[in-house]
Amino acid sequence: MVGLFQKLRSRLGQGTKALGGKIFSIFRGAKISAEDREQLEALLYGADLGREAVAAILEAVGRERKDLPAAARAPLERLLAGSEGHPSIQSPPEVLCLLGVNGSGKTTVAAKLAAHFSRKGKKVLLGSCDTFRAAANEQLCLWAERLGVEIVRSRRGSDAAAVAYDALSAATARGKDLLILDTAGRLHTKEHLLEELVKLRRVLEKKWPEIPIHGWLVLDGHQGSNGLRQAEIFHSTFPLSGLVITKLDGSARGGAIVPIYRATKLPIYFIGLGESAEDLRPFSVDEYLDALLGE
Ligand SMILES: Nc1nc2c(ncn2[C@@H]2O[C@H](COP(=O)(O)OP(=O)(O)OP(=O)(O)O)[C@@H](O)[C@H]2O)c(=O)[nH]1
Ligand SMILES: [Mg+2]
């Protein structure tokens, strides 16, 4: 665990990583002055922790100097209760559909998840449902080859629902445990593109009503709390059951996990910490808060 924590910690962006250290350095006297509190408040907002968490931390910290990161930790633990997603495949095959805006990290997460579940001994199939860009198909095929995971690629002229249908047919025929569908990036404001997702789900549910379909939203950690609006709209289109937050390496807005969870109450299954297949971590509140509040 120490290794994982160190990796998370060393990879979190300076702005976020330094939060704990900065909190320590603000307070020098025995009492916390109004100015100290203002400085702390600015720091917490700067990390994108959001209003609810900032208020809760300020309240917990109070006016006496004490072990500040510990005082800040308790309210964050409370706000993040229930946020750890623990993926399990209950009735194989199951479908995991990755959704999100352009460039949020869906294709990379699809590959990383394929690697993760394969390592766990699951039989994984990838489905390339990004039919907008030929390059997207190539990108996922390359990953599949590198990881030794089977893939159903998109064909010219086919739509996302057709690829998903072919992929799930293949998953059932080949006795797979998990089908991971990569989808095209789409702005949550483009209704006709969102419709494509509704169709994809409808087509699968119609043919395989008993097969569970999970929708995970892939959010770019750099975007901070902008992810909130995306989550809301995607959720109303394609019911979501979880989140993956990517690019937390180098993000100065790593605190955004807190308001995103509070607003969506969707479990966070994994966080992305880099571009390689191993740079995906199951989300752990403890590990996250250690990294966030460590000195
Ligand atoms: N640093 C870092 N880069 C990442 C991470 N996840 C993805 N990326 C990079 O972000 C870029 C976009 O990733 P993709 O996986 O192609 O994103 P996408 O959501 O599939 O993009 P579209 O299909 O175009 O919507 C790529 O250069 C990835 O290598 C991460 O956790 N950390
Ligand atoms: Mg993609």
Q: Whose CA is nearest to atom 17 of ligand 1?
A: 105
Q: Which of 45-54, 145-154, 155-164, 251-260 has the highest mean pLDDT?
A: 145-154
Q: What is the pLDDT of residues 118-153, one digit of tens each?
A: 999 999 999 999 988 888 899 999 999 999 999 999
Q: Which is nearest to 216 in space by CA: 283, 166, 161?
A: 283
Q: Cα-Cα-Cα-Cα dihedral of 174, 179, 181, 182, to 10°?
A: -90
Q: How far is the CA of 210 from the centre of ligand 1 (A)?
A: 32
pTM greater than 0.95 (yes/no) = no
Rounded CA-CA distance 152/154 in Å is: 7
Ligand number, closest to the Cα atom of 113: 1
Q: Which of 1-10, 150-159, 259-268 has the highest mean pLDDT?
A: 259-268
With a Cβ cut-off of 6 Å, ligand 1 is lined by 100, 102-108, 130, 136, 184-185, 246-247, 249-250, 272-275, 279
Strand partners of residue 219 = 245
Q: What angle do CA 109, 198, 178 make, to 5 degrees?
A: 40
117, pLDDT greater than 60: yes
Q: How far is the CA of 219 from the centre of ligand 1 (A)?
A: 10
Residue type, 151: I
Q: How far is the CA of 141 from the centre of ligand 1 (A)?
A: 15
Sign of CA dihedral 194, 197, 202, 203: positive
